[in-house]
Structure 1
């Protein structure tokens, strides 16, 4: 999500996932290629009439609002594609499964959908995608991961969009130094959730702090923690000059709201999953509007881009009662990236899994009209190192406006990503 991404996972859950992965991976799902009546090679999920595309989403768990937006954004794209004649003369059939942000349910959903999906237009969560990483490496298919942990790099089958959590934070801390007056010797706080999301985000703040002469005051929380009063007290006692938040939207509302009430009036900078526009209708809104910013690689819905304006209009027409948030854009663009890979593979007359992955990996400058140019040719690098700095705004579509356009700082460009 988004980027919306708490990596809530315990050792027990991971062990369960690994056990399930081992039990289900004895039989590869890549299948044998056949040739369709039009001369195009066909792999799993492809017939003469249909291309089936999987989506593993969170529709009932902690990120359900964003998961809903992501799924509907993807469905909107494929609905438009089908209305225009489909891809390769075939109708695209989305196959959606809800995993409720649960590792075991994710493994089950993947096991069900993998044999009948040509690609996965989105799969939410680093710990959930990671639970089937070995099978993705072995079988494919091309999987657009809505997660930004470096552990997902290095696989030809897995594609993140945007950049890693750490690089976002590095760009964000660089912004604090340049625009908010922080100087060497200052302390910055970092409240982060346990799991890949928080760990990699913290690595970013520590790296930037070392380079800039800051000290980091860290506080780890669980995904289920709701009251951030204790964390606010630690930050105030430490005398931090700014706070980075790599937590969930509800936790952000508590953190920023309590901070203002306790007199901790410093800049707050959140990873993109730390915010949802629904927060602007809560009592935390005044605090969020006052001193909170968001780090995000993708352009916000409020961007002055024709493609974004069309997406907003189309989504409003299709889902007039639903909130517009960055999940809409994330779901639509991952579907569009998947669609473009399928179109390229069709032109190559190869809709096998390897054909789809090869077509995707040949793309070095994709932006789809959405403002963030991404290079998909390098499997051990995120497709971009740029980050927008955004600010909550009640009048902006999606609740965020641009404060600083997408930038890759010298610090971010010099950061070496450790692959797991």
Structure 2
């Protein structure tokens, strides 16, 4: 990789999305969360700090809505354990504003109805959410987040339709920008260009379709054709999709899905003799897959675009984090969910510290403290600007490559960058 790329300005039109299938559930649950204000208390603490929901004189309660039993179970567990590790370390160091941090964790199994139910159950208990897995599920309760609850949410999701809310703050670039960066890498490193065909395997819904928008833009700029294969999160065998892409004569493949789908794409392509580079979005890899039959194919032809340094990096926060996590969870394998979870909650921690300094640990005080963070650095290689709700906190990506000898299974190929192809990108 070279460092010629300079991030360019990118203005976006905020958009909103919802899941029709669970709209009635979300509306029905509104009445439940209407009690949040009266149940959560209010006023101020004994120390004179203003507080409301989720804060007592001794405790700050944060919410974590995760997936530990669905398609992102491996990553969801790592994200949650990393965030619990941060809370433990913070409490051992004296807490925040003289208060211990506690996590209220709910597993929604990547199911829409369970996600809405988990939000409804916890929205009257927490000051903010350190994670909420699933772009579509965040959007389903978005009106409540922005309206009656006005609660800060850091989603473990990067769909552009989450932009535009001062209470929903994603950490890193959106999927469309990440995909443009990924395709720029393919063009630079493998000569992908005019007349070539790019295959794209993507989840139906906000994640995959947002990534596909980036793919289509990059393809238009580079003169590529795009062969699209849409799949459901429950689809794990990619044989049919890879055969179709082989028939289309693809020269490279983008995967905007989960780790199992990415491994299947790589394994099936290798078995079929389709030796082309494959690159996945940041959630499309798990190191456990290197020990499966797809491992050799992932090591040979797979790459990952990421909004932060991986857990196996020898610099910054990851180096210390990997050791601490291994000590806390000795039976669990390191993966990038550890880095993603810790990165998000440590940035939230900076907002909590700033809110404490301002003597305002209310939900609004914490949200405003986050908006005031314009160069937030938590040691994961990329500075974040949360001041513009219509923009992601960063437009940069690292390109990573699987490596069985590196903790977490990923190594860094070069400096983070923003593709110049983003300069002409307008989000509809």
Structure 1 and Structure 2 fold alike (TM over 0.5): yes
Give the match for residue 64 of structure 1: 73
Decide which of 126, 146, 158 is 2:156's aligned counterpart. 146
Offset, 1:264 = 0.8
Offset at residue 23 of structure 1 (A): 4.4
What's the CA shift for 1:19? 3.4
Counterpart of 2:104?
95
8 Å CA contact 2:26–2:116 kept in 1: the answer is no
CA distance in structure 2 between the aligned counterparts of 1:379 and 1:125, rounded to whole angstroms: 19
Task: Please give the per-residue CA displacement for 1:297-336, whole angstroms capped at 9, x wherever unaligned.
Answer: 1111122224211101100111111010011111111111
Tell me if 1:200 matches 2:210: yes
Once residues 11 and 366 of structure 1 are traced to their aligned partners in structure 2, the CA distance between those partners, rounded to angstroms, is: 33
Show the counterpart of 2:259. Answer: 249
Please state whether the residue corresponding to 2:106 is helix, strand or coil. strand
Distance 1:277 1:83, change over 3 A: same
Q: Report the CA distance between 1:288 and its aligned residue.
A: 0.7
Offset of residue 54 of structure 1: 1.1
Residue 13 of structure 1 corresponds to: 21
**What residue is the counterpart of 1:404 in the other structure?**
414
2:191 aligned to which of 148, 164, 181: 181
1:57 and 1:98 in contact (8 A); partners too: yes
In the alignment, structure 2 segments of 5+ residues that lack a partner are: 1-16
Task: Please name the residue that 1:46 is paired with.
Answer: 55
Contact 1:52 1:95 in 2 (8 A): yes
Aligned to 1:121: 130
Alpha-carbon contact 1:142-1:157 (below 8 Å) kept: yes
Tell me, yes or no, if the aligned pair for 1:236 and 1:264 is still in contact at 8 Å: yes
Higher strand residue share: 1
Partner of 2:113: helix, strand, or coil? Answer: helix
Give the secondary-structure state (helix, strand or coil) at the position aligned to 1:59: coil
Deviation string, structure 1 residues 133-175 (Cα, Å, up to 9, x no partner)? 0111012211111111111111111111111111111011111
1:348 and 2:358 aligned:
yes
Residue 230 of structure 1 pairs with residue 240 of structure 2: yes
1:291 corresponding residue in structure 2? 301
- The separation in 2 between residues aligned to 1:82 and 1:148, in whole angstroms, is 29
Equivalent pair of 2:371/2:386 in contact (CA under 8 Å): yes
User: How is 1:260-271 mapped onto 2 (pairs within 5 angstroms)?
Assistant: 260-271=270-281
Q: Per the alignment, in what secondary structure is the counterpart of residue 158 of structure 1?
A: coil
Work out whether residues 271 and 295 of structure 1, in 8 Å CA contact, stay in contact via their aligned partners in 2. yes
SS at match of 2:273: coil
The 2-side partners of 1:320 and 1:25 are apart by 38
Assess, with a 3 A threshold, how the Cα gap between structure 1 residues 54 and 25 changes in structure 2: closer, same or farther.
closer
Distance 1:162 1:222 in 2: 25
- Equivalent residue, structure 2, for 1:110: 119
- The 1:323–1:20 alpha-carbon spacing in structure 2 relative to 1, beyond 3 Å, is farther
> Would the alpha carbon gap of residues 155 and 36 (structure 1) be closer, same or farther in structure 2, given more than 3 Å must change?
same
Q: How far, CA to CA, are the matches of 1:390 and 1:162 in structure 2? A: 15
Is the Cα–Cα contact under 8 Å of residues 316 and 381 in structure 2 kept in the other structure? no
Calculate the aligned-residue CA RMSD, in Å.
1.7
Residues 11 and 40 of structure 1, relative CA distance in 2, 3 Å threshold:
closer
Q: Return the TM-score normalized by structure 2.
A: 0.92
Please say if residues 21 and 131 of structure 1, whose CA atoms lie closer than 8 Å, have aligned partners that are also in contact.
Answer: no
Task: Report what 1:281 is aligned to.
Answer: 291
For the residue of structure 1 that corresponds to 2:123, the secondary structure is helix
In the alignment, which of 60, 67, 82 is matched to residue 73 of structure 1? 82
Query: Which of 293, 299, 321 lines up with 1:311 in the alignment?
Result: 321
How many angstroms does 1:21 deviate by? 4.3
SS in 1 for 2:53: coil
CA distance in 2: counterparts of 1:84 and 1:25, whole angstroms: 33
SS at match of 2:246: helix
- Would you say the 8 A contact 2:66–2:80 is kept in 1? yes
Deviations 1:22-75 (A, max 9, x none): 444555648664021111101111111111111111122221111110000000
Residues 20 and 107, structure 1, Cα contact 8 Å, conserved in 2: no
